[in-house]
Amino acid sequence: MTLVQAKLSPNAVRELQSICQSFGNDKGELINILHKSQDFCGYLPPDVQEVIAEELDIPVSTVYGVVTFYSLFVMEPRGKHHISICTGTACFVKGAMDVMDEFKLLLGIDMGETTPDGNFSIDSLRCIGACGLAPVVMVGEKIYGRVTPDDVINILDDYKDK
Amino acid sequence: MESVKLIIDDKSVEVPKGTTLLDAAKELGITVPALCHMDLSGIGFHSSNASCRLCVVEVEGRRNLAPGCTTLATHGMVVKTRTPRVLNARRINLELLLSDHPKDCLSCSKAGCCELQNLAETFGIREISYQGEMSSHAKDTSSPSIVRDPDKCVMCRRCENICREVQGVGVLTAVNRGFESVVVTAFDRDLDTTTCTYCGQCVAVCPTGALTEKDETNEVIRALADPFKTVVVQVAPAVRTALGESFGMKPGTLVTGKLAAALRRLEFDYVFDTDFAADLTIMEEASELLDRLTRHLGGDTDVKLPIVTSCCPAWVNHLEKRFPDLLEYPSTARSPMQMFGSIAKNYLAEKISVHRKDMVVVSVMPCVAKKAECARVEFSDDGNPDVDITLTTRELASLIKRFNIDFESLEDEDFDAPLGESTGAAVIFGTTGGVIEAAARTAYEFHTGETLEQVDFEALRGFDGIRSATVDFAGIDIKIGIAHGLANARVLMEEIRKGTCEFHAIEVMACPGGCIGGGGQPFHHGKEEIIRARQEAIYSEDASKVIRKSHENPHIKKLYEEYLGKPLGEKPHRLLHTHYFNRSGKKTK
């Protein structure tokens, strides 16, 4: 994993501190605090985790352990267009992995990563209940159904110029 | 105390309410195997995650097997610890653990004392039925003291728990989930960029080779083989209480005489004792304590009290990283090991007409933080360190074995003079409470001018994490605080920060029990009685000595007369004292 070195602005540090304070700096509220902090920053790089650790008086390793445990929390900024490939049972059986491989190949990144230009990021998703349309791919909020590896390049083209 | 009666393997036993099945079985002499479990609650550490699932037992009426380390005994429970179902489950769980473990036992530093290896042998594992992907993590050799090899981690969490709960530092944590889960540092950063104090307790409790110390035995062998180097060795007090364990001797056996003999067989040119330098440390530190006390009580507000001991390098690291605003409180006296190095490379080198660059000072310590301490720039002269190499007790044992020395059969020998003679006050440095007791013995006589009749300060002894006692210095009440384990030390430091600290002097040891429980000692594998036995050995060596006060050591007196002048004088200040640095990464107010 390559760490994103992001320097927080003094204002951002103050905002994060006030998020912690809004929960009474209670270390038991770490998950809620991380959730709000990610909403604010978009992601949770080391600097953000260190501010939270300092404010709650817990080791930064504890924060890091929680962040890596839950798939909701990300340490790299998501792309402008976030691609989620459903790997639930129906989609898996209908070839979701081949679709995934095609996305990885065309974008040159792995699952959980973001393209260097910041346009796309890919991750897997668990069943969204659209199994009749398997395999399913979401780009942002838009759902694509019955996706084949050949469709991938067309899907990406939809977003190339946006 | 309420008790419960239960049946284990058809035998009846009565235990206090709240006892685990593992402990209840032990009462009947039944040892249920366990891996992640470690119980040192008598000295402040308990770790039971029930993650290894090797201690599972059958409980009548319960569908699934129960983990013995966390399941509490209840009245009327019927437990079976070795049915075919249990044995099969344990074997499968162990095979699964082994299926993602490196198979390099032959070259692993933990071979022979690895708990996973021992369990594989006990369980009679002959093949591992589960083959698959193997974890692959980078080894971290950034630290001068500790080597991290996460591929060997079994997720027992002992290291995480001892670092976070007992030390209050929290460098290590479990990250990710499923197959990806492993115990590493925050952001998987190198150890030397973290708040790690190098106390080595993680190394002391790790059941496998995931956390070990940096091995410097080959460097010592090279120095010993170099005909143009005069190699001097010094040995810490705690080493003599534990080295015998590496040769199968009973824990708590004092092996001082054999230790000196073994070091001579290894062909060190001079075999000295760190205890000599401990007496030296007391001369300086007791004088400093009295000086600060007198000036502070006399109204000098620049002088800070309490004086805090500074001989523990992990503690100094913690002070510099966590309490940079309190750097005026620790004593400026160097640790005994470093004082020894300084005297060896200045006084001794001159005496035997050897240039300091041609002298190699090796120290044998119960500690892994000392490896980092001797590398500190301020403890060197023009690039030449006062102490060149530090070995742990374990590394010395390895060297002795490598040199074909039959340790147990050695006849007792003495250390060399003049840096080998020490008092009872020096040897108690190895236990929690010992440093301040040694200082009290000398400070009392320095201050009152009277002879101290009762040399034993029982009130300062014991295993409680935070202790306090008041010592009567001919009318003045001196309040002393003692902490072992850095989380306990933090409590006292926070009091200093708040201005509510009433102590005049505080002793801090990073390791539970003090140096006897150090990160470099032979592995205790969770047996608390080993650490207690080592402490008994320390106090018994003290009691057996004729001279038990540091300032009465004739060689120390001679050193001052001949070379150093007076305690806290110009030469002692230059050679035996130090200063501290803000290593917190933050500015202090």
Q: Find the mean pLDDT for residues A6-22.
A: 94
Q: Find the mean pLDDT for residues B320-326.
A: 96
Nearest CA to A128 out of A96, A80, A81 is that of A96
Here the tokens at position A104 are 């990885």
Instruction: For residue A162, name the pLDDT band (cuts at 50, 70, 90).
Output: low
Q: Is A4 a residue whose pLDDT tops 70?
A: no
Evaluate whether residue B429 is within a structural domain.
yes
Distance of residue B101 Cα from the nearest chain A Cα, in angstroms: 22
Instruction: For residue A72, name the pLDDT band (cuts at 50, 70, 90).
Output: confident
Nearest CA to B507 out of B579, B576, B431 is that of B431
Q: Is A76 a residue whose pLDDT tops 90?
A: no
Q: Find the mean pLDDT for residues A52-56.
A: 97
Distance of residue A141 Cα from the nearest chain B Cα, in angstroms: 27
- CATH number for the domain spanning B55: value is 3.10.20.740
Between β-strands B56-59 and B66-67, what pairing exists: parallel, antiparallel or unpaired? antiparallel
* Cβ atoms within 10 Å of B181's Cβ, excluding its own: 16
Whole-number average pLDDT of chain B: 96
Helix or strand run (H / E) with residue A82: strand A81-86
Q: Is B450 a residue whose pLDDT tops 80?
A: yes
Q: Find the mean pLDDT for residues B534-548.
A: 96
Collect all residues of chain B within an 8 Å Cβ-Cβ radius of residue A3: 187
Instruction: For residue B297, name the pLDDT band (cuts at 50, 70, 90).
Output: confident
- Helix boundaries (H) for B503-569: 528-544, 554-559
Which residues, other chains included, contact B146 with Cβ-Cβ below 8 Å and sequence gap of 6+? B191, B196, B198, B200, B202, B203, B211, B212, B213, B214, B368
Instruction: For residue B186, name the pLDDT band (cuts at 50, 70, 90).
Output: very high
Q: Do A60 and B176 touch (CB under 8 A)?
A: no
When divided into structural domains, chain B yields a total of: 2
Q: Is B464 a residue whose pLDDT tops 70?
A: yes
pLDDT in tens, B109-152: 999 999 999 999 999 999 999 999 999 999 999 999 999 999 99
Distance of residue A18 Cα from the nearest chain B Cα, in angstroms: 21
Q: Do B186 and A61 touch (CB under 8 A)?
A: yes
Q: Provide the β-strand partners of residue B471.
A: B478
Q: Does B176 touch chain A (CB under 8 A)?
A: yes
Distance of residue A153 Cα from the nearest chain B Cα, in angstroms: 31
Evaluate whether residue B328 is within a structural domain.
yes
In chain A, the residue whose alpha carbon lies closest to the alpha carbon of B170 is A59
d(CA B72, CA A124): 41
Q: Find the mean pLDDT for residues B383-399.
A: 98
pLDDT in tens, B561-575: 999 999 999 999 999
The phi and psi torsions of B2 (rounded to 5 degrees) equal: -70, 145
Which residues of B are the active-site residues? 285, 288, 311, 331, 370, 373, 378, 515
Q: Does B175 touch chain A (CB under 8 A)?
A: yes
Q: Do A62 and B173 touch (CB under 8 A)?
A: yes
Q: CATH fold of A81-160, please?
A: Glutaredoxin (3.40.30)
User: What pLDDT score was predicted for residue B254?
Assistant: 96
* Cβ atoms within 10 Å of A8's Cβ, excluding its own: 16
Rg (CA), chain B: 25
In chain A, the residue whose alpha carbon lies closest to the alpha carbon of B174 is A65
Judge if the upstream peptide bond of residue B418 is cis by omega within 30 degrees of 0.
yes
Could you say which of B74, B99, B124 is where a domain stops? Answer: B99
d(CA B522, CA B519): 9
* B316, B330 contact by CB (below 8 A): yes
Could you say which of B77, B99, B121 is where a domain stops? Answer: B99
Collect all residues of chain A within an 8 Å Cβ-Cβ radius of residue B172: 61
Q: Is B375 a residue whose pLDDT tops 60?
A: yes
Cα A1 to Cα A45, B8, B274: the distances in Å are 12, 49, 46
Evaluate whether residue B373 is within a structural domain.
no
Nearest CA to B234 out of B79, B63, B429, B81 is that of B429
Per-window interface: B 507-526 vs A, CB < 8 A: none
In chain B, the residue whose alpha carbon lies closest to the alpha carbon of A62 is B173
- Helix boundaries (H) for B374-428: 393-402, 424-427
Instruction: For residue A126, name the pLDDT band (cuts at 50, 70, 90).
Output: confident
Q: Do A69 and B170 touch (CB under 8 A)?
A: no
Q: Is B589 a residue whose pLDDT tops 80?
A: no
Q: Do B173 and A65 touch (CB under 8 A)?
A: yes
Q: Which domain holds residue B522?
A: 285-332+421-576
Evaluate whether residue B554 is within a structural domain.
yes
Here the tokens at position B177 are 């989930």
Could you say which of B99, B122, B148 is where a domain stops? Answer: B99
Collect all residues of chain B within an 8 Å Cβ-Cβ radius of residue A65: 173-175
Instruction: For residue A3, name the pLDDT band (cuts at 50, 70, 90).
Output: low
Q: Find the mean pLDDT for residues B422-429.
A: 96
Instruction: For residue B159, name the pLDDT band (cuts at 50, 70, 90).
Output: very high
In chain B, the residue whose alpha carbon lies closest to the alpha carbon of A71 is B176
Nearest CA to A33 out of A57, A9, A11 is that of A57
Q: Find the mean pLDDT for residues B385-402.
A: 98
Q: Is B180 a residue whose pLDDT tops 60?
A: yes
Evaluate whether residue B262 is within a structural domain.
no
Collect all residues of chain B within an 8 Å Cβ-Cβ radius of residue A58: 170
Domain chopping of chain A, boundaries = 10-69, 81-160
User: What pLDDT score was predicted for residue B588?
Assistant: 77
Q: Is A66 a residue whose pLDDT tops 70?
A: yes
Q: Find the mean pLDDT for residues A142-159.
A: 94
d(CA B486, CA B467): 14
Instruction: For residue A2, name the pLDDT band (cuts at 50, 70, 90).
Output: low
Q: Find the mean pLDDT for residues B440-453.
A: 93
Q: Find the mean pLDDT for residues B532-547.
A: 96
User: What pLDDT score was predicted for residue B1?
Assistant: 79
User: What pLDDT score was predicted for residue A125?
Assistant: 87
- Out of B169, B173, B195, the one facing A64 most closely (by C-beta) is B173
Here the tokens at position B257 are 């005489």
Taking the alpha carbons at both ends of chain B, their separation in whole angstroms is 51
ipTM above 0.85, yes or no: yes
Collect all residues of chain A within an 8 Å Cβ-Cβ radius of residue B187: 3, 46, 64
Q: Is B524 a residue whose pLDDT tops 90?
A: yes
Helix or strand run (H / E) with residue B526: none
d(CA A76, CA A95): 28
Collect all residues of chain A within an 8 Å Cβ-Cβ radius of residue B164: 59, 61-62
The phi and psi torsions of B414 (rounded to 5 degrees) equal: -100, 165
Residue B513's Cβ-count burial label (10 Å; 0-12, 13-18, 19+) is buried
Distance of residue B261 Cα from the nearest chain A Cα, in angstroms: 46
d(CA B424, CA B432): 15
Q: Do B186 and A68 touch (CB under 8 A)?
A: no
Q: Is A1 a residue whose pLDDT tops 60?
A: no
- Out of A1, A59, A65, the one facing B174 most closely (by C-beta) is A65
